[in-house]
Each structure stands twice: as structure tokens, then as C-alpha cells.
Structure 1
Amino acid sequence: MEMTITTPSLLFPAISLLMLAYTNRFVTLANVIRQLSSMENAPSKDLVIRQIENLRIRMTVIRLMQAFGVLSFVFCTLSMFSLLLAFQVAGMYLFAASLLLLVLSLLFSFYEVNISTKAINIELEKFNAVLKKHKHD
């Protein structure tokens, strides 16, 4: 099978957009962590502690998402370089590795979305407590 340099170049915009999205998630989480750290006298310390544990896991997963995304970008670039030098087989294998790394990055992204849903549910518990209190009043 013949592969041209344009094949791996198709991934460049996709990987760039993913990295931008991952960075935005990271920045948002960093801001949430800063807000939580200022809540020393929070009325519900249990919820804050659970949120912090959730955030710690999410930060690790986002770091993995970014790492695999960057590696995918590097392998894609190496694939293009190999194809440019007429190393077809190496270019194809590097491109395949790039695709696998991209899939890993996307799977970690999917996992992080699931974890963030748990964080939202923890926040909703505050409202449940308030609603129960108002029902009994």
C-alpha cells in the first residue's frame, strides 16, 4: 500500500483541536481547585474533600490525555518525516502508532468525562440537602 505525506497531515488539525480542548479542561480544573482551596470554612467539608479527591484523579487523567495526545502528534510528525525521506514502511508504522496513541488519548478523555460527571453529582448533593431541609420546614 502506498501512503503519501498528506495522509498523516490530515491528523494535524484534529490533534491540535484536541490538545486545545484538553488544555481548556486543565485550566478549568486548576481554577476549580483554587476556588476549593479558598473554602477552608466550607459548611460541608465532606463534599469539599470528596471534590478534591475527584479533582486529583481528574488532573492525573488529563495529564495522561495530554501526554498521549502530544505523543500522537510527535509520531504523526515523524511519520510525515519518514515519508518525506521515502521510508514508506517506517512512515506507515509511525502513523499507525500515532493513531493508537490518539485512541488512547481519546479513551482517557472519555474516562475523564465520566469522572467529571461524578463531580457534578457531588455538587448536586448540596442541593438535595437544601431541598430536603425546605420540605421539612
Structure 2
Amino acid sequence: MQDKQLNKDEIAQLTEADWKQRLTSDEYHVMREKGTERPFTGVYNDIDDKGVYRCKGCGASLFNSDNKFDAGCGWPSFDQGVDNAAIDEHVDDSLGMRRTEVTCSNCGAHLGHVFPDGPRETTGMRYCINSVSIDLDKNEH
């Protein structure tokens, strides 16, 4: 996990070579090249520990563990971000379908996608997130 959250000025200074140094090859593939980890392989898929999930690239707070649920899809799923400013949404027309990509609003890292098939009793949304793009901070909740 990053020692501190990077600010926009620090992020702007990072080159792709810097990102390759900061991230593992799997993290780089997902976060910088918009890849996806295989379903049911991510470390956070079956974790119910309390805390805040942070962006592995910059340390920004993204999701609270209270909003995590088991969607059975193979990736950690959340019904909302920590706030409306934490995550950006973008149209993704790759793979011959229209989806909504979610990225870290602080550093632009690809996190996964959001779908409107989440729990109806809460937001109705399912943020389907790659485990390699997040870290669980158990000291914050």
C-alpha cells in the first residue's frame, strides 16, 4: 500500500516508466492498460474485513468495506464509492459491447466497471473492481 496519497501535481510528474516501477506487471496491465484479472482469482473477492479500499496507484480512498457485497461475479463488488468524487465513469465500447468503465478520479487508474444490477435495497449499482487495483486499509473505517 502507498505510504501516502499522491496529489495531482505528484501524479502529473509520473511517466509510464515511473508507473511500471511503482506497480507489479499485473497491476500495471490492469490499471494502466485497462486489463482485467481473471474472475475468482483476486485477493479481495472473498474478504469481509473492515476498512477502506484505496487505489493501489495513488492511495486515494475509493470504497468502504460497508458497501462491499458478494455479487457472485468473481470480482470484489461494491454498491457505491466513498463519495461521488472518488470515482470517474467513462463509456467503454471495447469487446463489442457498451459498458461503463470506472477509474480513480485522482490518478486515472482503471479499476473495473459498474453495472446497474446491484442490490435493489441500496443503490442498485454493482461496482465490479479488480483486486489488483485496490488495497484494503484496515486502520481506517
Task: Using CA pairs under 8 Å that are at least 6 residues apart, name the structure with larger relative contact order, 1 or 2.
Answer: 1
Larger Rg: 1
The normalised TM-score by structure 2 is 0.23
Point out the structure with the larger strand share.
2
Point out the structure with the larger helix share.
1
The normalised TM-score by structure 1 is 0.23
